[in-house]
Structure 1
């Protein structure tokens, strides 16, 4: 016969609580402990929701680096498309020059991205920039595309990343409709 498992050998003790629940609730309310807990939770939530200016500056700096490289990558993509020469040094310099330009824009939009007015502004901006990008790609000569497309594509992607899901989807649909019914019919 197999020995009894160790878990069954642990003595079971039932804790007897002689204090009724209504008495416990009265004691908690009388001491004010529940209000103190709620007040502390509210303080912690307010601290968590309020980021300092320095935090937004660091966020802008750290977000401007990948978006600077995105501008440079799109620049190289356009150059390759039109058989223009490019170098890794040029790619790095474009990224380094783009990041400080993007930093204030990213700071302002990132700081207020949870506000309804900023969401509305970024939604309108996304529709405008996306439509302008598609218009530039279909109606501009190659030099115009090389100059405008990398920056417009980067700003458009940034807007989509920062927008809430519903406005981002709506702007993508609107730009798609502009391309299908506006630009595509002209061909």
Structure 2
């Protein structure tokens, strides 16, 4: 009776082993460390080289590693290429703050200069109210474009917009009445400077050259 029970148990154990997939069996062997501790000759298998079309002897362990790399590369191709690690939100906020602060001070400086040009003495409360209206617009502009500036469509948009804004700024300073200069001068200046520094260097140089050509063609002057 005992022999019959032992034979039954061994049969069930063999049956369970037969149901283990080959990939899981190979994984168990790799995790056990037997291959690393074995110093004797290993079994060699033939693998066809996809580039040359010839067969060559390779280690089964190398085949398993190559298969894993091929699976990873296939997953990357299906997902549209290798995925870059996403930038952390604190880093994005910090980069945006580094742009918002100098742009805000640039707007404030231009607002004071324009008013001084027309002998207007702005009060502190007036400047606080104006800066309070300008800062949300600057934050929205920087938050939307700062981390997308490398995209082609945004580079093209900022290139043409920088030309239009630059020409508009110079025209307003030369031809528009005082109230229009006070209202449009500071925001146009901030917008133009921001787009120029966000453009790639060749695009920024071409944009500035086109603005200079337009100023010369229209007979305008660059002045405060």
Q: TM-score, normalised by structure 1?
A: 0.69
Return the offset for 1:92: 4.1
Contact 1:65 1:99 in 2 (8 A): no
SS of the residue corresponding to residue 190 of structure 2 reads helix
1:100-151, CA deviations, whole angstroms, 9 ceiling, x for partnerless residues? 1211111111121000110000001100100100111111011111110110
**What's the Cα RMSD here?**
3.0
- In structure 2, stretches of 5+ residues that fail to align are 1-57, 73-81
Higher relative contact order (CA 8 A, sep 6+): 1
**Rg larger in 1 or in 2?**
2
Matched with 1:98 is 134
Contact 1:79 1:86 in 2 (8 A): yes
Counterpart of 2:169 (choices 133, 139, 154) is 133
Structure having the larger proportion of residues in helix: 1
| Rounded Cα–Cα distance in structure 2 between residues aligned with 1:166 and 1:88 | 40
Contact 2:171 2:220 in 1 (8 A): no
Check if 1:71 corresponds to 2:112.
Answer: no
| Rounded Cα–Cα distance in structure 1 between residues aligned with 2:139 and 2:87 | 18
Matched with 1:112 is 148
Contact 2:107 2:190 in 1 (8 A): yes
Matched with 1:46 is 84
1:50-102, CA deviations, whole angstroms, 9 ceiling, x for partnerless residues? 32455434433442222122111100000111111123444344334321121
| Rounded Cα–Cα distance in structure 1 between residues aligned with 2:102 and 2:129 | 14
Contact 1:135 1:183 in 2 (8 A): no
Q: TM-score, normalised by structure 2?
A: 0.58
